[in-house]
């Protein structure tokens, strides 16, 4: 194996806590109570359906920033919250300021000693550059949906990244906290690593609490992934 690509939202960064904190800070700044947790969870609820509209062809190619903005506008209307365009733009960019999980940066640095590390994300590149800089993620390379104009789990994303790396899928591992993503990767020949993030969706999370298949590696977090890959290499 030569490269490990990572899902980002949920696997590498804690989007939910990061968004809630930013909504709460904005509430304080505006002197106006915004329902931070509800807005965050409902906003994320639009995520998969909005990408499915692109994947099905109902919408032309649209980057995630623009899907986020459109779903935010709908959500604010639903809650009767009126904000001007500049504020809607600013809130849309909450997704550019996400915090890493506690193990993320250390784990990535260790893995980077032996492997090329990069993103394989449905986020657009402009978003992912900001997340990289904000969270201090030491990526070698960013693979983002807008390079391929496809969203995961479309095969073009996984195979496009392998092609650009000049590697056969067997030399590339996807690391994700989501079983659906790993299923798609495995079907195309990539290796797979599952890292559960049981608090990604908050206290009531019910999906992706455990591996749903015999993934090549199942690790507690990214530091543990590095440890397990080193153990396997020296075994």
Binding footprint of its own copies on the chain (CB under 8 A): 65, 116, 124-126, 129, 132-133, 140-142, 144, 146-147, 164-167
Are the C-beta atoms of residues 201 and 16 closer than 8 Å to each other? yes
> CB 71 → its own copies: shortest distance, Å?
18
Dihedral angle of Cα 172, 16, 129, 179, to the nearest 10 degrees: 10
Half-sphere exposure of 147 (CA within 13 A, CB side): 23
Nearer to its own copies, 128 or 175 (CB): 128
> CB 201 → its own copies: shortest distance, Å?
28
Nearer to its own copies, 54 or 127 (CB): 127
> CB 118 → its own copies: shortest distance, Å?
8
Nearer to its own copies, 108 or 182 (CB): 108
- For residue 40, the Cα-to-chain-centroid distance in whole angstroms is 15
Nearer to its own copies, 101 or 143 (CB): 143
- Longest CA–CA span in the chain (Å) reads 60
> CB 132 → its own copies: shortest distance, Å?
6
**Integer Rg of the chain from CA:** 18
């Amino acid at each position: 194996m030569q490269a490990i690509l990572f899902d980002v939202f949920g696997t590498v960064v804690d989007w939910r806590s990061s968004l809630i904190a930013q909504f709460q800070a904005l509430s304080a700044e505006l002197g106006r109570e915004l329902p931070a947790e509800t807005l965050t969870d409902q906003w994320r609820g639009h995520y998969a359906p909005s990408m499915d509209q692109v994947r099905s062809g109902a919408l032309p190619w649209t980057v995630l920033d623009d899907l986020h903005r459109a779903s935010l506008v709908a959500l604010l209307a639903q809650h009767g919250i009126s904000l001007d365009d500049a504020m809607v733009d600013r809130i849309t960019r909450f997704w550019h300021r996400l915090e890493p999980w506690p193990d993320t940066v250390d784990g990535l640095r260790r893995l980077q000693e032996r492997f090329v590390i990069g993103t394989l994300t449905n986020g657009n590149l402009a978003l992912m550059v900001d997340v990289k800089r904000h969270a201090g993620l030491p990526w070698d390379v960013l693979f983002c949906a807008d390079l391929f104009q496809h969203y995961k789990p479309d095969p073009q994303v996984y195979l496009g990244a392998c092609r650009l790396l000049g590697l056969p899928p067997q030399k590339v591992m996807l690391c994700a906290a989501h079983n659906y993503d790993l299923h798609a990767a495995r079907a195309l020949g990539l290796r797979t690593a599952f890292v559960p993030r049981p608090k990604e969706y908050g206290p009531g999370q019910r999906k992706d609490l455990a591996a749903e298949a015999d993934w090549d590696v199942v690790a507690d977090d990214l530091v543990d992934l590095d440890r397990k890959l080193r153990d396997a290499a020296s075994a």
